[in-house]
Amino acid sequence: MNVVIVGYGMAGSRLAAELHARDGDLKVVVLGAEPHRAYNRIMLSTLLAGKVAEPDVELAEVAGQGVDVRTGVQVTTIDRDARVVHTDDGDRIPYDHLVLATGSRAIVPPLPGLDPADLPERVVPFRTLDDCRRILAAAEGARSALVLGGGLLGLEAARGLAARGLDVGVVHPVPYLMERQLDPTGAAVLAGTLAGLGVTTHLAVAATRVAADADGVRLDLADGRSLSADLLVISCGVRPDTALAAAAGLAVERGVVVDDQLRTGDPRISAIGDCAQHDGTLTGLVAPAWAQARVLAQALTGEDPAARYRPRPVVTRLKAAGIDLAAMGDPADGPGEELTFADPARGTYARLRIHEERLTAAILLGDNPSVGQVVQLFDRGAPVPADRRALLLGRALGGTAAAPAESPALMPDAATVCQCNDVRKGALVACWRAGARTVDEVVATTRAATGCGGCREAVAGIVDWLSEADSVGATR
């Protein structure tokens, strides 16, 4: 069977790897519009901060018989009757099954002075590797930058530029930052933390005009102020890239509509990742995209023809130098008891919502030893402990550290360590028992910590625990 994957981003490359790993009787062609090999988009903010180099954000290349990866190739049309895709280089590629993994595009707001097709040199969206390169080039010799958009990606860009020594301002039309993940109190604490890191926030004010020339950028605001900088980064959200699907007559709402098996209305065409809309919801995150790739690979290879995609609770992490944030669930008020703690001077905020002894939402900002336990309780829907204070603060009632969440020995094998790849503690232990002896070996085998990288410390802790346990056993 010929499988053609349109898109070589994080979803398309993972699907190719999943298909290749199952060694089914498939011929896979991957068509990527970008000229690069696949890369980890989540790590672009770390690249922007100068903490890693470009080779560090590249994803493992799919290699082997039966997989043909072509970069710099744009699919122009889909002929569903002939089951052929046409490319911009004149090629016609037949398929038995077509997978759309076209991702999403950065939204450029309709402001005077901004033409999405012809942006000024000093005005750059933050979405792709090429965008990142342009931002880094513009940041050379720059002293200041503005970021339009105070969501997760905008704040990551702002922190990355501040880490390079730039004076950074964030303009956000909503009264508080990251409104989809935070409440006003937590966002205020985050704004204070950012201020200490060199990032100023301008909230509840919309941009009205952009003016850019060789000397810099001016951003006019609705309150009459004008902000100037050497560089403007646009981070106003993304929009699923559905043009190809719509032109082919597939059902498109906000994204390409798919069922539980990721199929569109045409049973020979599937969609995964940012471009797909499942059960009325867009994903926009790596963990759901990779889960969809796994389910589709199971179905296409015959490993599990009845495989279904079931969304899991989403945990959002913002982990940059000086910032540690975990948010899960809906921050809006809901049923159940609320527990909160705030220490703005130390950049700490914690909020838990508990309903029927289950954690339904949480925000943890700052150094909180209980973050691992909170994530596990939310992910598994397990009953919360009786000592709510320990869960909120990472401290037991007597003032001692709450150890159960931090000890790998007490973690159940079913505990999810890597949210992005759905890697559980039991898989890490099994990998160790099979012969892996370093963090890098365990990561390479299980894929843990290859998404956002936020769980690498936890993986290292489990590897250290296994090493110590084996050493103790060997001396007995």
Per-residue confidence at 473, pLDDT binned at 50, 70, 90? low
- Across residues 263-274, what is the average pLDDT? 98
Tens of pLDDT along 457-470? 788 888 888 887 77
Q: Are 368 and 346 in contact (CB under 8 A)?
A: no
pLDDT at 397: 37
Please report the pLDDT score of residue 96 as a whole number.
98
CATH architecture, range 2-105+239-300: 3-Layer(bba) Sandwich (3.50)
Contacts of 217 (CB under 8 A, 6+ apart): 120, 122, 123, 146, 210, 211, 228, 229, 230, 231, 232
Please tell me the distance from the alpha carbon of residue 396 to that of residue 405, in angstroms, as a whole number: 12
| Integer Cα distance of 446 and 419 in angstroms | 12
Give yes or no for a contact between 254 and 240, defined as CB atoms under 8 angstroms apart. Answer: yes
Fold of 315-397: Enolase-like; domain 1 (3.30.390)
Per CATH, is 408-475 categorized as 3.50.50.60? Answer: no
Question: How high does pLDDT run on average in the chain?
Answer: 90
pLDDT at 277 over 90: yes
Gap between the Cα atoms of 474 and 476, Å rounded:
6
Is 74 in contact with 87 (CB distance < 8 Å)?
A: yes
Q: What is the mean pLDDT of residues 249-268?
A: 98
| Average pLDDT for 49-67 | 83
Position 416 scores a pLDDT of 80
Res. 40: pLDDT tops 80 = yes
pLDDT at 370: 85
The fold of the 123-236 domain, in CATH, is FAD/NAD(P)-binding domain (3.50.50)
The DSSP string of 393-430 is HSB-TTS-B--TTT-GGGS-TT-EEETTTTEEHHHHHH
As a whole number, mean pLDDT of residues 411-425 equals: 79
Q: Is the pLDDT of residue 396 over 70?
A: no
pLDDT band at 356 (very low <50, low <70, confident <90, very high): very high
What percentage of residues in the chain have a pLDDT greater than 90? 66
Q: How many CA atoms lie within 13 A of 395 on its CB side?
A: 8
Q: Which of 25-29, 209-213, 235-239, 410-414 has the lowest mean pLDDT?
A: 410-414
pLDDT at position 192 is 96
Domain boundaries, the chain: 2-105+239-300, 123-236, 315-397, 408-475
> Mean pLDDT: which of 61-70, 112-121, 166-175, 308-317 is highest?
166-175
Q: What is the pLDDT of residues 176-235, one digit of tens each?
A: 999 999 999 999 999 999 999 999 999 999 999 999 998 899 999 999 999 999 999 999
More confident site: 33 or 475 = 33
For residue 131, CA distances in Å to 44, 83, 123, 227 come to: 9, 34, 10, 22
Give pLDDT, residue 474.
52
Arithmetic mean of pLDDT, 103-120: 94
pLDDT of residue 407: 66
| Residue-wise pLDDT tens digits, 145-161 | 999 999 999 999 999 99
Q: How far apart are CA 251 and CA 249, in angstroms?
A: 7
Token pair listed for 200: 């100023």
Confidence check: pLDDT of 378 > 50: yes
How far CA 95 is from CA of 29, 74, 90, 98, in Å, comes to: 9, 16, 16, 6
386 burial level (CB within 10 Å; 0-12, 13-18, 19+): exposed
Which pLDDT score, from 0 to 100, does residue 63 have?
Answer: 60
Choose between 417 and 311: higher pLDDT.
311
Residue 360 token pair = 């339904």
Span of 143-147, 185-189, 370-374, 396-400 with lowest mean pLDDT: 396-400
pLDDT attached to residue 66: 81
Confidence bin at 317 (pLDDT 50/70/90): confident
Q: How far apart are CA 100 and CA 272, in angstroms?
A: 6
Instruction: Find out whether 222 and 109 touch, Cβ atoms under 8 Å.
Output: no
Please determine whether the domains at 123-236 and 408-475 fall in the same fold group of CATH.
no
Q: Are 215 and 209 in contact (CB under 8 A)?
A: no
Distant-in-sequence, close-in-space partners of 349: CB < 8 Å, separation ≥ 6? 185, 186, 189, 190, 340, 341, 342, 343, 363, 364, 365, 366
d(CA 454, CA 438): 18
